A and B are shown apart, each in its own frame.
Chain A
Amino acid sequence: GEDVEQSLFLSVREGDSSVINCTYTDSSSTYLYWYKQEPGAGLQLLTYIFSNMDMKQDQRLTVLLNKKDKHLSLRIADTQTGDSAIYFCAEREGDDKIIFGKGTRLHILP
């Protein structure tokens, strides 16, 4: 089946930029997503990108998509303590399902 891979942990100093990387296998994916999960809560959609786009920017968030390499990244500028969470990369498979990565735990250092 299709697979979404991402690193499990990332530590970043407060004020620096965080870059979370993800690779996927389904070249026919039409939508790719980033979700955020805070402790004790469900997942919340942060942003998404259509497969025909290379970049999408939304305030402190920048999503980059390299379709050739099937690589997706999420950059968080000026990382704050409130950004500490688990970030899930996901791709849309056909019309039915969303395939999630295992999540990257972002830890903010003071």
Chain B
Amino acid sequence: EADIYQTPRYLVIGTGKKITLECSQTMGHDKMYWYQQDPGMELHLIHYSYGVNSTEKGDLSSESTVSRIRTEHFPLTLESARPSHTSQYLCASSDRFDEQFFGPGTRLTVL
């Protein structure tokens, strides 16, 4: 069973608020990822990291930022949430064989 956790699982928040979505893994994986998943199911890579102090933007432009100060922790921050940010956010980490282990996701609703 994958040991990757996301909090909160559900978040409803007003426009303009700053939010941080937490992601932690206890598997010692160097690579971590954030995906945004459409209501229609498609996954979009928005950020990834090769290891501590490494962060890269993904294929989908996002107003969010990430940090990687510790191997096990990869939080995603939105400075000012907007309704267009309403989505499901999935965090993942991968081992050296690139098997990706996914967290349960955070469903964000911005009013």
Contact = CB atoms under 8 A, between A and B. Distances in A.
Asked if A pairs with B, the answer is: yes
Contacts of B4: 42
A105 B39 CA distance: 13
Interface in A2-38: 8, 31, 33, 35
A86 interface: yes
A102 B42 CA distance: 4
Interface of A: 1, 8, 31, 33, 35, 40-45, 48, 86, 88, 92, 96-98, 100, 102-103, 105
Given A31-B98, A103-B42, 4 more contacts: A42-B4, A45-B99, A45-B100, A97-B48
17 contacts: A1-B59, A31-B97, A33-B99, A40-B104, A41-B104, A42-B90, A42-B102, A45-B99, A92-B98, A97-B45, A97-B58, A98-B100, A100-B43, A102-B40, A102-B41, A103-B43, A105-B41
